[in-house]
Amino acid sequence: MRMLVTGGAGFIGANFVHRTLATRPDARITVLDALTYAGTRASLAPVADRITFVHGDICDADLVNRLVAETDLVVHFAAESHNDNSLADPWPFVRTNVVGTTTLLQAVRTHDVRYHHISTDEVYGDLELDDPARFTETTPYNPSSPYSSTKASSDLLVRAWARSFGIRATISNCSNNYGPYQHVEKFIPRQITNVLTGVRPRLYGTGANVRDWIHVDDHNDAVWTIVERGELGQTYLIGADGEANNRTVVETILELCGKDPNDFDFVTDRPGHDLRYAIDSTRLRTELGWTPTYSDFRAGLTATIDWYRTNENWWRPQKDATEAVYAGTERVTGAGSRH
Protein backbone atom coordinates (compact mmCIF):
# COMPACT_ATOMS: atom_id res chain seq x y z
CA MET A 1 0.00 0.00 0.00
CA ARG A 2 1.46 3.34 -1.12
CA MET A 3 0.05 6.21 0.87
CA LEU A 4 0.35 9.99 0.95
CA VAL A 5 -0.09 11.53 4.40
CA THR A 6 -0.56 15.30 4.30
CA GLY A 7 0.34 17.17 7.50
CA GLY A 8 2.39 14.18 8.70
CA ALA A 9 4.80 16.44 10.62
CA GLY A 10 1.96 17.78 12.77
CA PHE A 11 0.47 16.29 15.94
CA ILE A 12 -2.11 13.77 14.71
CA GLY A 13 -0.40 13.12 11.36
CA ALA A 14 2.94 12.23 12.98
CA ASN A 15 1.20 9.89 15.43
CA PHE A 16 -0.63 8.36 12.44
CA VAL A 17 2.70 7.70 10.69
CA HIS A 18 4.17 6.10 13.84
CA ARG A 19 1.07 3.99 14.44
CA THR A 20 0.86 2.89 10.81
CA LEU A 21 4.47 1.76 10.67
CA ALA A 22 4.01 -0.12 13.97
CA THR A 23 0.86 -1.93 12.87
CA ARG A 24 1.40 -2.17 9.08
CA PRO A 25 5.15 -2.51 8.55
CA ASP A 26 4.76 -2.87 4.75
CA ALA A 27 3.08 0.54 4.31
CA ARG A 28 5.02 2.83 1.96
CA ILE A 29 4.45 6.30 3.33
CA THR A 30 5.13 9.66 1.72
CA VAL A 31 4.57 12.65 4.01
CA LEU A 32 3.74 16.00 2.42
CA ASP A 33 4.10 18.85 4.89
CA ALA A 34 4.80 22.58 4.58
CA LEU A 35 6.51 22.66 8.02
CA THR A 36 4.58 25.67 9.26
CA TYR A 37 5.15 26.75 12.89
CA ALA A 38 2.99 23.70 13.79
CA GLY A 39 5.02 21.05 11.98
CA THR A 40 8.49 19.72 12.71
CA ARG A 41 10.55 16.89 11.29
CA ALA A 42 11.59 16.11 14.86
CA SER A 43 8.20 14.43 15.28
CA LEU A 44 9.16 11.96 12.54
CA ALA A 45 12.80 11.48 13.57
CA PRO A 46 12.27 7.96 15.00
CA VAL A 47 10.95 6.76 11.59
CA ALA A 48 12.86 9.10 9.27
CA ASP A 49 14.57 6.26 7.39
CA ARG A 50 11.27 4.41 6.81
CA ILE A 51 9.34 7.19 5.04
CA THR A 52 9.74 9.64 2.17
CA PHE A 53 9.41 13.23 3.36
CA VAL A 54 8.40 15.98 0.93
CA HIS A 55 8.62 19.55 2.17
CA GLY A 56 5.84 21.25 0.25
CA ASP A 57 2.47 22.95 0.22
CA ILE A 58 -0.90 21.28 -0.40
CA CYS A 59 -1.87 24.39 -2.41
CA ASP A 60 0.90 23.61 -4.93
CA ALA A 61 -1.20 21.92 -7.63
CA ASP A 62 1.74 20.61 -9.70
CA LEU A 63 3.42 19.02 -6.68
CA VAL A 64 0.16 17.58 -5.33
CA ASN A 65 -0.77 16.21 -8.74
CA ARG A 66 2.59 14.45 -9.08
CA LEU A 67 2.47 12.92 -5.59
CA VAL A 68 -1.16 11.81 -5.85
CA ALA A 69 -0.42 10.13 -9.21
CA GLU A 70 2.10 7.91 -7.42
CA THR A 71 -0.10 6.74 -4.52
CA ASP A 72 -3.00 4.40 -3.71
CA LEU A 73 -4.41 6.32 -0.76
CA VAL A 74 -4.40 9.92 0.51
CA VAL A 75 -5.03 10.60 4.20
CA HIS A 76 -5.44 14.36 4.54
CA PHE A 77 -4.44 15.79 7.95
CA ALA A 78 -2.76 19.03 6.84
CA ALA A 79 -4.56 22.10 8.14
CA GLU A 80 -4.29 25.28 10.09
CA SER A 81 -5.71 23.82 13.30
CA HIS A 82 -5.78 26.37 16.14
CA ASN A 83 -8.94 28.36 16.89
CA ASP A 84 -7.14 31.20 18.66
CA ASN A 85 -4.89 31.79 15.65
CA SER A 86 -7.90 31.81 13.32
CA LEU A 87 -9.40 34.66 15.33
CA ALA A 88 -6.20 36.69 14.98
CA ASP A 89 -5.70 36.00 11.24
CA PRO A 90 -8.19 33.86 9.28
CA TRP A 91 -6.40 33.99 5.92
CA PRO A 92 -4.00 31.04 6.35
CA PHE A 93 -7.05 28.99 7.38
CA VAL A 94 -8.97 29.86 4.23
CA ARG A 95 -5.92 29.15 2.10
CA THR A 96 -4.81 25.80 3.55
CA ASN A 97 -8.12 24.36 4.72
CA VAL A 98 -10.24 25.40 1.74
CA VAL A 99 -7.89 25.98 -1.20
CA GLY A 100 -5.48 23.22 -0.12
CA THR A 101 -8.26 20.67 0.27
CA THR A 102 -9.68 21.62 -3.14
CA THR A 103 -6.24 21.14 -4.68
CA LEU A 104 -6.08 17.61 -3.25
CA LEU A 105 -9.63 16.82 -4.37
CA GLN A 106 -8.85 17.80 -7.94
CA ALA A 107 -5.80 15.53 -7.92
CA VAL A 108 -7.59 12.48 -6.46
CA ARG A 109 -10.35 13.05 -9.00
CA THR A 110 -7.85 13.12 -11.88
CA HIS A 111 -6.02 9.98 -10.74
CA ASP A 112 -8.98 8.11 -9.14
CA VAL A 113 -7.17 7.68 -5.82
CA ARG A 114 -8.90 6.67 -2.54
CA TYR A 115 -9.13 9.70 -0.21
CA HIS A 116 -9.81 10.00 3.51
CA HIS A 117 -10.59 13.43 4.91
CA ILE A 118 -9.73 14.24 8.53
CA SER A 119 -12.12 16.71 10.12
CA THR A 120 -13.43 17.93 13.43
CA ASP A 121 -16.57 17.86 15.59
CA GLU A 122 -16.37 21.66 15.68
CA VAL A 123 -18.23 21.80 12.34
CA TYR A 124 -21.40 21.14 14.37
CA GLY A 125 -21.03 24.21 16.61
CA ASP A 126 -21.58 23.67 20.34
CA LEU A 127 -24.03 22.19 22.83
CA GLU A 128 -25.44 23.49 26.12
CA LEU A 129 -23.81 22.07 29.25
CA ASP A 130 -27.02 20.37 30.40
CA ASP A 131 -28.15 19.19 26.94
CA PRO A 132 -28.47 15.38 26.88
CA ALA A 133 -27.87 15.49 23.10
CA ARG A 134 -24.54 14.65 21.48
CA PHE A 135 -23.37 15.24 17.91
CA THR A 136 -24.25 12.56 15.35
CA GLU A 137 -23.62 12.22 11.61
CA THR A 138 -26.96 14.00 10.94
CA THR A 139 -26.41 17.04 13.20
CA PRO A 140 -26.66 20.21 11.06
CA TYR A 141 -23.42 22.11 10.42
CA ASN A 142 -23.18 25.30 12.52
CA PRO A 143 -19.49 26.26 12.93
CA SER A 144 -18.52 29.15 15.21
CA SER A 145 -14.93 30.19 14.45
CA PRO A 146 -12.93 30.94 11.30
CA TYR A 147 -11.10 27.63 11.92
CA SER A 148 -14.23 25.51 12.22
CA SER A 149 -15.98 27.24 9.33
CA THR A 150 -13.06 26.52 7.02
CA LYS A 151 -13.09 22.87 8.17
CA ALA A 152 -16.85 22.76 7.51
CA SER A 153 -16.17 24.20 4.04
CA SER A 154 -13.60 21.52 3.37
CA ASP A 155 -16.03 18.76 4.42
CA LEU A 156 -18.69 20.13 2.06
CA LEU A 157 -16.16 20.25 -0.78
CA VAL A 158 -15.39 16.55 -0.20
CA ARG A 159 -19.10 15.69 -0.25
CA ALA A 160 -19.58 17.66 -3.47
CA TRP A 161 -16.61 15.98 -5.18
CA ALA A 162 -17.92 12.55 -4.09
CA ARG A 163 -21.41 13.21 -5.43
CA SER A 164 -20.59 15.19 -8.57
CA PHE A 165 -17.36 13.50 -9.66
CA GLY A 166 -17.59 10.12 -7.92
CA ILE A 167 -14.31 10.39 -6.01
CA ARG A 168 -13.76 7.48 -3.60
CA ALA A 169 -13.85 9.40 -0.33
CA THR A 170 -14.73 9.05 3.35
CA ILE A 171 -14.82 11.75 6.05
CA SER A 172 -14.25 11.51 9.80
CA ASN A 173 -15.10 14.18 12.38
CA CYS A 174 -13.26 13.65 15.64
CA SER A 175 -13.35 15.29 19.05
CA ASN A 176 -10.38 16.81 20.98
CA ASN A 177 -7.20 14.72 20.78
CA TYR A 178 -4.44 14.50 23.36
CA GLY A 179 -1.14 12.60 23.45
CA PRO A 180 2.54 12.99 22.47
CA TYR A 181 3.84 15.48 19.87
CA GLN A 182 0.96 17.99 20.35
CA HIS A 183 2.02 21.62 19.87
CA VAL A 184 2.27 23.56 23.15
CA GLU A 185 -0.26 26.16 21.93
CA LYS A 186 -3.03 23.60 22.58
CA PHE A 187 -4.78 23.35 25.97
CA ILE A 188 -3.36 20.16 27.52
CA PRO A 189 0.29 20.52 26.44
CA ARG A 190 0.22 24.23 27.26
CA GLN A 191 -0.84 23.52 30.83
CA ILE A 192 1.55 20.57 31.25
CA THR A 193 4.53 22.59 30.01
CA ASN A 194 3.44 25.57 32.13
CA VAL A 195 3.52 23.39 35.24
CA LEU A 196 6.86 21.85 34.21
CA THR A 197 8.35 25.33 33.83
CA GLY A 198 6.88 26.73 37.07
CA VAL A 199 4.15 28.83 35.39
CA ARG A 200 0.52 28.74 36.58
CA PRO A 201 -1.92 27.08 34.14
CA ARG A 202 -4.36 29.38 32.35
CA LEU A 203 -8.11 28.78 32.13
CA TYR A 204 -10.21 30.75 29.66
CA GLY A 205 -13.37 32.31 31.12
CA THR A 206 -14.67 30.25 34.05
CA GLY A 207 -13.19 26.92 32.97
CA ALA A 208 -16.70 25.46 32.59
CA ASN A 209 -16.34 24.66 28.86
CA VAL A 210 -16.48 20.95 28.11
CA ARG A 211 -14.38 19.04 25.59
CA ASP A 212 -14.72 15.34 24.67
CA TRP A 213 -11.17 13.98 24.97
CA ILE A 214 -9.80 11.08 22.95
CA HIS A 215 -6.27 9.67 22.85
CA VAL A 216 -4.62 10.31 19.48
CA ASP A 217 -3.93 6.57 18.97
CA ASP A 218 -7.64 5.81 19.33
CA HIS A 219 -8.38 8.50 16.73
CA ASN A 220 -5.83 7.05 14.32
CA ASP A 221 -7.03 3.47 14.82
CA ALA A 222 -10.52 4.71 13.97
CA VAL A 223 -9.18 6.36 10.82
CA TRP A 224 -7.70 3.02 9.70
CA THR A 225 -11.02 1.30 10.49
CA ILE A 226 -12.82 3.76 8.22
CA VAL A 227 -10.20 3.54 5.46
CA GLU A 228 -10.44 -0.27 5.46
CA ARG A 229 -14.13 -0.86 6.18
CA GLY A 230 -15.96 2.46 5.75
CA GLU A 231 -18.61 2.98 3.10
CA LEU A 232 -17.50 5.33 0.33
CA GLY A 233 -19.18 8.73 0.38
CA GLN A 234 -20.00 8.42 4.10
CA THR A 235 -19.11 10.39 7.23
CA TYR A 236 -18.18 8.81 10.58
CA LEU A 237 -17.94 10.57 13.94
CA ILE A 238 -15.03 9.54 16.18
CA GLY A 239 -15.24 9.97 19.95
CA ALA A 240 -14.43 8.02 23.10
CA ASP A 241 -16.98 9.28 25.69
CA GLY A 242 -14.32 11.52 27.25
CA GLU A 243 -16.28 14.61 28.31
CA ALA A 244 -14.57 16.77 30.93
CA ASN A 245 -14.67 20.46 31.73
CA ASN A 246 -11.48 22.48 31.38
CA ARG A 247 -11.21 23.24 35.08
CA THR A 248 -11.28 19.53 35.94
CA VAL A 249 -8.56 18.85 33.36
CA VAL A 250 -6.30 21.58 34.79
CA GLU A 251 -6.87 20.41 38.36
CA THR A 252 -6.04 16.84 37.33
CA ILE A 253 -2.83 17.91 35.56
CA LEU A 254 -1.74 19.86 38.65
CA GLU A 255 -2.55 16.96 40.94
CA LEU A 256 -0.73 14.42 38.72
CA CYS A 257 2.31 16.75 38.73
CA GLY A 258 2.28 16.82 42.56
CA LYS A 259 1.03 20.44 42.76
CA ASP A 260 -1.86 22.16 44.55
CA PRO A 261 -4.90 21.69 42.23
CA ASN A 262 -5.93 25.32 42.89
CA ASP A 263 -2.65 26.71 41.61
CA PHE A 264 -4.02 28.13 38.32
CA ASP A 265 -5.23 31.46 36.93
CA PHE A 266 -8.37 32.44 35.06
CA VAL A 267 -7.75 34.61 31.99
CA THR A 268 -9.85 36.49 29.45
CA ASP A 269 -12.17 34.21 27.51
CA ARG A 270 -11.82 33.25 23.83
CA PRO A 271 -14.29 35.28 21.69
CA GLY A 272 -17.15 33.05 20.54
CA HIS A 273 -15.84 30.23 22.76
CA ASP A 274 -17.78 27.01 22.06
CA LEU A 275 -19.35 25.79 25.29
CA ARG A 276 -19.46 22.02 24.92
CA TYR A 277 -18.61 19.30 22.39
CA ALA A 278 -19.86 15.72 22.77
CA ILE A 279 -19.69 12.90 20.22
CA ASP A 280 -22.06 9.98 19.73
CA SER A 281 -19.88 7.45 17.88
CA THR A 282 -22.54 4.71 17.73
CA ARG A 283 -22.31 4.45 13.94
CA LEU A 284 -18.55 3.82 13.93
CA ARG A 285 -18.86 1.29 16.75
CA THR A 286 -21.88 -0.66 15.49
CA GLU A 287 -21.33 -0.56 11.70
CA LEU A 288 -17.52 -0.85 11.63
CA GLY A 289 -16.77 -2.47 15.00
CA TRP A 290 -14.32 0.17 16.34
CA THR A 291 -13.82 0.60 20.08
CA PRO A 292 -11.36 2.92 21.86
CA THR A 293 -8.61 1.34 23.96
CA TYR A 294 -7.74 4.36 26.17
CA SER A 295 -10.83 4.26 28.39
CA ASP A 296 -9.03 5.80 31.40
CA PHE A 297 -8.44 9.54 30.74
CA ARG A 298 -6.43 9.93 33.95
CA ALA A 299 -4.04 7.16 32.88
CA GLY A 300 -3.74 8.70 29.40
CA LEU A 301 -3.00 12.11 30.94
CA THR A 302 -0.35 10.57 33.21
CA ALA A 303 1.40 9.01 30.20
CA THR A 304 1.16 12.31 28.30
CA ILE A 305 2.66 14.27 31.20
CA ASP A 306 5.51 11.72 31.33
CA TRP A 307 6.09 12.18 27.60
CA TYR A 308 6.41 15.98 27.93
CA ARG A 309 8.61 15.56 31.01
CA THR A 310 11.08 13.36 29.10
CA ASN A 311 10.89 15.19 25.75
CA GLU A 312 11.65 18.78 26.70
CA ASN A 313 14.07 18.99 23.74
CA TRP A 314 11.04 18.48 21.46
CA TRP A 315 8.77 21.19 22.95
CA ARG A 316 11.28 23.72 24.33
CA PRO A 317 11.91 25.43 20.96
CA GLN A 318 8.14 26.20 20.61
CA LYS A 319 7.38 27.34 24.15
CA ASP A 320 8.64 30.93 24.40
CA ALA A 321 7.28 31.99 21.01
CA THR A 322 3.90 30.44 21.83
CA GLU A 323 3.64 32.19 25.19
CA ALA A 324 4.68 35.48 23.58
CA VAL A 325 1.67 35.19 21.24
CA TYR A 326 -0.69 34.51 24.17
CA ALA A 327 0.81 37.38 26.16
CA GLY A 328 -0.39 39.79 23.45
CA THR A 329 -4.09 39.13 24.19
CA GLU A 330 -4.38 37.34 27.52
CA ARG A 331 -5.18 39.10 30.82
CA VAL A 332 -5.40 37.40 34.21
CA THR A 333 -8.92 37.84 35.67
CA GLY A 334 -8.71 35.70 38.81
CA ALA A 335 -6.97 32.92 40.66
CA GLY A 336 -8.00 29.34 41.34
CA SER A 337 -9.42 28.59 44.76
CA ARG A 338 -10.96 25.67 46.63
CA HIS A 339 -14.58 25.03 45.60
**Least separation in angstroms between CB 22 and ligand NAD:** 18
Determine which residue in the list 16, 204, 308, 315 makes contact with ligand DAU, applying CB under 6 A: 204
Burial (CB count <10 Å: 0-12, 13-18, 19+), residue 187: buried
**Least separation in angstroms between CB 234 and ligand DAU:** 20
Going by their DSSP bridges, the two strands 2-6 and 28-33 should be labelled as parallel
CA–CA gap between residue 121 and residue 336 (Å, rounded):
29
Reply yes or no on whether 115 is catalytic. Answer: no
Determine which residue in the list 83, 85, 96, 101 makes contact with ligand DAU, applying CB under 6 A: 83
Q: Verify binding: residue 187, ligand DAU, rule CB under 6 A.
A: yes
Reply yes or no on whether 147 is catalytic. Answer: yes
From the list 33, 57, 80, 122, the catalytic residue is: 122
Which amino acid appears at position 114 of this protein? Answer: R
Helices and strands counted in the chain (H then E): 12, 14
CA–CA gap between residue 217 and residue 291 (Å, rounded):
12
Contact predicate 68/111, CB 8 Å: yes
CA–CA gap between residue 105 and residue 126 (Å, rounded):
28
Q: Cα separations (Å) of 56 from 1, 6, 215? A: 22, 10, 28
Scanning 43-51, 100-108, 120-128, 288-296 for contacts with ligand DAU by CB under 6 A, the matching segment is 120-128
Helix axes 297-310, 187-196, angle to 10 degrees: 50
Per partner kind, with CB cut-offs from 5 to 8 A, the member of ligand NAD, ligand DAU, none near residue 7 is ligand NAD
Question: What is the Cα 246 distance to its own chain's centre?
Answer: 17
From the list 121, 217, 218, 251, the catalytic residue is: 121
Reply yes or no on whether 185 is catalytic. Answer: no
Residues that bind ligand NAD (CB under 6 A): 6-7, 9-13, 32-36, 38-39, 57-59, 77-81, 96, 100, 118, 120, 151, 174, 176-177, 183
Q: Verify binding: residue 277, ligand DAU, rule CB under 6 A.
A: yes
Write the binding mask 11 to 50 for ligand DAU: x where contact by CB under 6 A, - elsewhere: ----------------------------------------
SS3 7: coil
Positions that interact with ligand DAU (CB under 6 A): 81-83, 120-122, 175-176, 186-187, 190, 202-204, 209, 211, 246, 270, 277
